[in-house]
Amino acid sequence: MPGTDAARCERRCVLPFEALPSEVRLLRRAVVVQLGQWGIPVACEEAELVVTELATNVIKHVGEGASATLVLELKGRRLRVEVHDKSRSLPALRAADCDEECGRGLHMLAAMALDWGAVRTGVGKAVWCEIRPGSEMVCRRVERAVAALESYQTDSGTAREGRLREAAFEESVIELIADLLHWTSERGRDPDDVLDLAQRHFEAEREAA
């Protein structure tokens, strides 16, 4: 594993790597160390998930052992994570009729990220994701939400053929919340009170992030 870009190591870190499962583990450790040095250890869990997904996509779609580079950049209140490789094939959110594994990681990134995308470069492409250094609690909540919506789509049949999974996610969010409000009402609780409580939890955690 190579080290950081010495000229700009305070806010930028460059880590070339080989697309191998063992290297992904080393990348995660390097990310934890670097973010700790930058004074934002609370971003570690979320950043590790992003790095794992982007590096694993290189293994799956470019090839095991392919040369790639991880770039971490802290810009104000945004942490940008980029993975560069030598393939010019850009990733995309897949249609809802693909198998469960395909595309799930990208949807998790889309749910977690402030912004993300992919661009072709002179030698291949770069896939990037920007996150706001926040609490590990927020990270865990987003991950649980994505997993729940994946399961809910399967159970409810919301993910119809020909629809992007992201659009199906949005429909599932509404249906799932409606079902939870029915469940709450059946147990004698006021759905408005539950929504108000959930909103207060959300706002408090967002302010703390």
Q: Answer yes or no: do 120 and 185 share one domain.
A: no
Domain edge (last residue) among 93, 117, 134: 134
What gap in Å lies between CA 164 and CA 13, rounded to an integer?
Answer: 34
- pTM for the whole structure: 0.59
What gap in Å lies between CA 89 and CA 62, rounded to an integer?
Answer: 9
What gap in Å lies between CA 44 and CA 42, rounded to an integer?
Answer: 6
Chain centroid to CA 190: 34
Q: Answer yes or no: do 57 and 127 share one domain.
A: yes
What local confidence, expressed as pLDDT, does residue 134 receive? Answer: 60
Count of domains in the chain? 2
Is residue 169 predicted with pLDDT exceeding 90? no
Residue 43 sits in a domain whose CATH number is: 3.30.565.10
Determine which of 13-17, 94-98, 155-159 has the lowest per-residue pLDDT on average. 94-98
Domain edge (last residue) among 80, 100, 134: 134
Compute the average pLDDT of residues 26-51. Answer: 84
Tell me the residue range of the domain where 119 lies: 6-134
Q: Answer yes or no: do 109 and 163 share one domain.
A: no
What local confidence, expressed as pLDDT, does residue 76 receive? Answer: 76
Identify the residue whose tokens are 């408005």: 192
Q: Answer yes or no: do 86 and 15 share one domain.
A: yes
Is residue 20 predicted with pLDDT exceeding 60? yes
Is residue 163 predicted with pLDDT exceeding 50? no
Q: Which two tokens stand for residue 132?
A: 């706001």
Q: Answer yes or no: do 155 and 126 share one domain.
A: no
Q: Answer yes or no: do 72 and 90 share one domain.
A: yes
What local confidence, expressed as pLDDT, does residue 7 receive? Answer: 36
Q: Answer yes or no: do 141 and 105 share one domain.
A: no
Domain edge (last residue) among 93, 114, 134: 134
pLDDT in tens, 40-64: 776 778 888 899 999 999 999 999 9
Q: Rounded mean pLDDT of the chain?
A: 78
